[in-house]
Amino acid sequence: MEVADGLGVHKLACTKGSYAYFVPGAVPVLVDTGLPGRGPAILQECESLGGPPAHIVITHYDVDHIGSAAWLQEATGATVWVSAEDAPYIAGERRRPGMKRVVASLVRPAPPKAPRLLRAGDAVGPLTAVPTPGHTPGHLAFYGAGFAAVGDALTVRGGRPVPMAGLLTWNSAQAAQSVAKLRAAGARWILPAHAEPFWWDGSRISSV
């Protein structure tokens, strides 16, 4: 469903729990791909909103974000984009730090083939990649017109935007700085993976 009337970005209901977002239009872009096995449902939902994605951008290397990337790439021919810093973890060339090493050894989705690398300020269709490190070394948010898809750069606890739990975080100080950066970027819709989208004016959050 569209996050807000006329905003032009849709929350994919089939990815509830680890939301992927879809921006239809001349250059349709999918942000994240949910868990492994969600590919067919994601593709069907994108098609109901106007067509398959031409590009897939990934916020970070976790399994619940890259899970269906390879399947969707194969099914649609979409170009997959990942941050240069997280790319070696996604490819399996470098082992994830902390307890994510355990998760990654239990759930091993096929990595997307030959993903393109994103750096600060790169544009993919209507979205711009903005580094928001902390949750992972190369975590990216994607800014669009009036919104930011923020992956796991923040979640909502007690009605407030906060970094993800420390145990799941690569660098807590950087994660806190990234939340401050998102706050400083000005009022707009914030689209997290693990919370419902909300409007943030920098102090209070709302969903209206």
**Site residues (CB under 5 A) for Zn ion?**
62, 64, 152, 193
CB of 116 to Zn ion, least distance (A): 22
Query: Residues with Cβ < 8 Å from 189, sequence gap 6 or more?
Result: 3, 4, 7, 9, 146, 147, 148, 197, 198, 199, 200
CB of 14 to Zn ion, least distance (A): 16
Q: Identify residue 57 by its one-letter amino acid code.
A: V
Closest to Zn ion by CB, 85 vs 152, is: 152
Three-state DSSP class for 43? helix
Residue 193 Cβ, how far from Zn ion at the closest point, in Å?
Answer: 5
If the CB atoms of residues 45 and 152 are measured against Zn ion, the closer one turns out to be 152
Residue 154 CB, nearest approach to Zn ion (Å): 11
User: Which residue type sits at 186?
Assistant: G
Pairwise CA distance, residues 89 & 158, whole Å: 32
How far is the C-alpha of 61 from the C-alpha of 84, rounded, in Å? 11
Q: Which is nearer to Zn ion, 62 or 85 (CB)?
A: 62
Between residues 24 and 131, which has the closer beta carbon with respect to Zn ion? 131
Listed in sequence order, the residues at least 6 apart from 48 whose beta carbon sits closer than 8 Å to its beta carbon are none
The least CB distance from residue 19 to Zn ion, in Å, is 9
Contact status, residue 175 vs residue 134, Cβ threshold 8 Å: yes
- Is 45 or 62 the residue whose CB approaches Zn ion more closely? 62
